[in-house]
Structure 1
Amino acid sequence: MATILSIIPYHFYPPVGGGALRCYNILKEMARDHTVYVVTSQPEDTFTSDEDYTLPERVVIISISKMLLHISGSSACKKVFNAISYRVKKRTLKGPANSFFLASYSAIISLLKDVKFDVIYYESLESVGELSGPIRRFSISFTHIYDAHNVDSILWAQQAKALQNERLMNYANNALQLEKKLFKCIDTFFCCSYEDREKLIRLNELKISGIVVPNGVDISKKPYDDDAFKYSRKNIIFCGSLNYQPNIEGLLWFYTAVLPALKSAIPGLVLTVVGQNASYDHYKALMEDESVNFVGTVPDVNPYYYSASVAIVPLLSGSGTRLKILEAMSLGNPLVTTTVGAEGIRYEDGKHLLIADKPQAFVEQILTLLTDKQKFDTIRQNAQKLVMEIYDWQVIGKSISTQIPVLLKEKYGGR
């Protein structure tokens, strides 16, 4: 059994959204066989019991939220003190003071003195850049693992281009510089897809290895809808974070380029949109359209999938593995998506889902599912089987538990 220090610089419990779900489930699966200490910015009093999501006994939470509040003073003296403290601890002469680093540094160093850790696990690129150096200076005896939810430089660049935003492009450039030197900071990385693994390995000129740990779904929480007449429902569903730029771009593309032809072919067809953080500025047309059931944030997405027929993931950009695809597969909604949307999933087009990269193709694929019961049922049954065999979190968790001792043995010949 290994002892792991996980660094999570954001709120992740109870999980809301794809990133938090990945973070929570990997943490949960690691804690089946290992002890995991978590240093996080999330306030300690928010880790209350949740009937849907529980934290294993082997998870120890160390919240730095109070320290974050303490160092966030806006006075000139406080800013000067933070800048000096940051540069001394980081051993650098430049760079703005990073609040998460300042708040977490003392807690992490104290833990490293008291607990014999085997693995340092980073849940963000920022935490790698800020903390891997000081932790390595403390001791070289740790195995450092970074969980790359995405190739951040690509994701930021896509959003910067879509929004014509110079600040986001600076984020992309900074992320790229850090991603190019990951081999100096970590021993290996987890990522969502083979595509992302190859991109990060190439950025590091083959000096680093990566392990594909795909996104998954808890099939016990997403039970299959076996209604024989599901195909006949004139209700298609989009589900995802509505402030995520690739989702904004893709959903608006679908609404303007695909939905009008679908409504002409199937009178009474409804598009249901489910997701958090919707902006009226982005979705004004959809919110005011009577043929769109714009639901927004809901406590449980399952009922909306059950009342719908086809699920859509019309992404034109982004990286990683789409949790929304795996979720729909588990729940029994056949999918139409783009090549980009299905990236990272081990699917066969026409067997597990349908691919459409052009508006007319998207229309035709949806119409095929809504008019061919046999195809509708065959694809969703194949998709559920795929999820059960590869993408159930318990299956993924077994792989993670196997990988950790192998990594320790490869680096140090075992403990």
Structure 2
Amino acid sequence: MKRKILMIMPFENIYPPRNGGMHRCFHVFHQLSKYFDVTAVTHTRKEDLLSGTASYPAIARASVYSTYDEIAPKDIFSFLPARTGNALKYRFIIKDLNRNTDSSFLKMYPILNKLLSRQQFDYIILENLQLTYYASWIRKYNSKAAIFFNAYNVESLLAQRNVNKTATQQKEADDILRVEKNLYKIVDGIFCCSQVDLDIFTEMNREKIPLGYVLPNGIDTTLLTHSINISPEQLNNILFCGSLDYEPNKTGLLWFYKTVWPLVMQQLPGKVLCVVGRGNRQDYHDMLNDPTVNFIGEVEDVEPWYRKCNIAIAPLLNGSGTRFKILEAMSLGNPVVTTSIGIEGIESVNEIHALIADDAIEFANKIIQLTNHPGKSSLISSNARQLVETKYSWDIIGESLANYLAIAH
């Protein structure tokens, strides 16, 4: 009999995935559906989530419950004004008078309450940190299930690096850190994007986390075809692709533009920096008015922009996890120039699979080197694709995860 897994995915618009987090969430869901009896609870419409069945047929085997499709049952709290009723209902459920109302959990509660009271699961996977608060409530129904937290990042590192925090933001950052330091008391295991992240969580929790597993981000190599982009026009274009609101991306891109880009332009004055990504543009005013920057913004499909460019940059100075956009560029054939932090979690070799530089002069020199030597650019491109196919294909990652879960609990 297949082991039973409950995935709690408190997100809207999981499919088609439009950022690295949703990409990870969907593909873990897909891979687990191949090997286990999976039940998923989500805020994404069931119809939308299962619209990927043609490309990912295994998800049709999963039982999907969407808060969008479910009608919340009437109860005594329904007769009160919505805000008051929700606040009272939430505190009644969790037995905590001091915690702010979690509307996301309230939407999922009727579904979770029914599923957990009627079924026994072997594994329960929590797809964000906030859900770990409800681990003790879950255990009242499924005491024998192993609860795993799927950590997309070390959230406390991102929160603490916001140097302009208000008092409220500082409190939120402290709260995140407190939760992450006590995960060993809350969950049975953690999935981390990289060994670096797992080591951080292990140290935070004084080596008391029962189960830790490196579940790297991956790429669907069957959908992304590799190409060598070394025409004169492609060599002229450099690509940055990523969420413009994500703080590590914003910090890194602005650092690149202010310190690296001028050095590149001195040697290669015809270069064009193409910026693709969704998010607020107000922090990029200078770039928007720079004729050497093609600020494209959000697009429906990023692949054509990878095809128009040779080099892809990931100038990350902070953050954690595995960078999906680097794997995406490697899969499509764009040689990547990034930092040591950017390449964390990807088992690559400098000058073989990617070029790594941690200061402005070195970063600029790597770009100039690839532009002036198309043969090296092609070699890096081919090596990177081979790396992705052998280590970062979702099919390979999924099989390894299934083997782990078959014996972990």
TM-score bracket, shorter-length normalisation: over 0.9
CA displacement 1:28-57 (0-9 Å, x = unmatched): 000011121111122345446256666621
* Other-structure match for 1:362: 363
Q: Point out the more displaced range, 252-261 or 18-27.
A: 252-261
Aligned residues: 403
For the residue of structure 2 that corresponds to 1:264, the secondary structure is helix
Which residue identity is paired with 1:31?
S
2:193 & 2:94 partners in 1: Cα distance?
30
**Corresponding position: 1:116 with 2:131:** no
* Partner residue of 1:245 out of 247, 251, 267: 247
CA displacement 1:50-109 (0-9 Å, x = unmatched): 5666662122221123668999x9998433333332222212232112112222222112
2:80 & 2:261 partners in 1: Cα distance?
54
For the residue of structure 2 that corresponds to 1:117, the secondary structure is coil
* Other-structure match for 2:276: 274
Q: Does the 8 Å contact 2:117/2:141 carry over to 1?
A: no
1:224 & 1:236 partners in 2: Cα distance?
17
1:276 offset after TM fit, Å? 1.3
Q: Point out the more displaced range, 293-302 or 308-317.
A: 293-302
Compared CA separation, residues 362 and 67, structure 1 to 2 (3 A) = farther
2:73 & 2:270 partners in 1: Cα distance?
52
Pairwise CA RMSD? 2.3
For the residue of structure 2 that corresponds to 1:285, the secondary structure is helix
For the residue of structure 1 that corresponds to 2:168, the secondary structure is helix
**Corresponding position: 1:206 with 2:210:** no
For the residue of structure 1 that corresponds to 2:346, the secondary structure is coil
Q: Does the 8 Å contact 1:310/1:366 carry over to 2?
A: yes
* Other-structure match for 2:306: 305
* Other-structure match for 1:17: 19
2:214 & 2:159 partners in 1: Cα distance?
21
Which residue identity is paired with 2:86?
N
Q: Does the 8 Å contact 1:153/1:171 carry over to 2?
A: no
CA displacement 1:313-336 (0-9 Å, x = unmatched): 001111101001111111111111
How does 1:2-401 map onto structure 2 within 5 Å? 2-11=3-12, 12-47=14-49, 49-50=51-52, 56-65=59-68, 77-129=81-133, 131-158=134-161, 160-161=162-163, 163-208=164-209, 209-227=211-229, 229=231, 233-277=235-279, 279-401=280-402
2:20 & 2:4 partners in 1: Cα distance?
26
1:338 & 1:139 partners in 2: Cα distance?
44
CA displacement 1:324-363 (0-9 Å, x = unmatched): 1111111111111111111111111111111111111111
1:200 & 1:15 partners in 2: Cα distance?
27
Which residue identity is paired with 1:64?
T
* Sequence identity (%): 36
2:274 & 2:385 partners in 1: Cα distance?
22
2:73 & 2:315 partners in 1: Cα distance?
40
2:291 & 2:73 partners in 1: Cα distance?
45
Which residue identity is paired with 2:24?
R
Q: TM-score with structure 2 length normalisation?
A: 0.92
1:192 offset after TM fit, Å? 0.2
2:234 & 2:282 partners in 1: Cα distance?
33
CA displacement 1:202-232 (0-9 Å, x = unmatched): 1111111310010011111221103564796
1:114 & 1:136 partners in 2: Cα distance?
13
2:91 & 2:333 partners in 1: Cα distance?
53
2:361 & 2:74 partners in 1: Cα distance?
56
Q: Does the 8 Å contact 2:17/2:23 carry over to 1?
A: yes
2:152 & 2:21 partners in 1: Cα distance?
7
Q: TM-score with structure 1 length normalisation?
A: 0.91
Compared CA separation, residues 363 and 379, structure 1 to 2 (3 A) = same
Q: Which runs of 5+ in 1 are unaligned?
A: 409-415
Q: Does the 8 Å contact 2:34/2:58 carry over to 1?
A: no
1:406 & 1:245 partners in 2: Cα distance?
38
1:291 & 1:52 partners in 2: Cα distance?
38
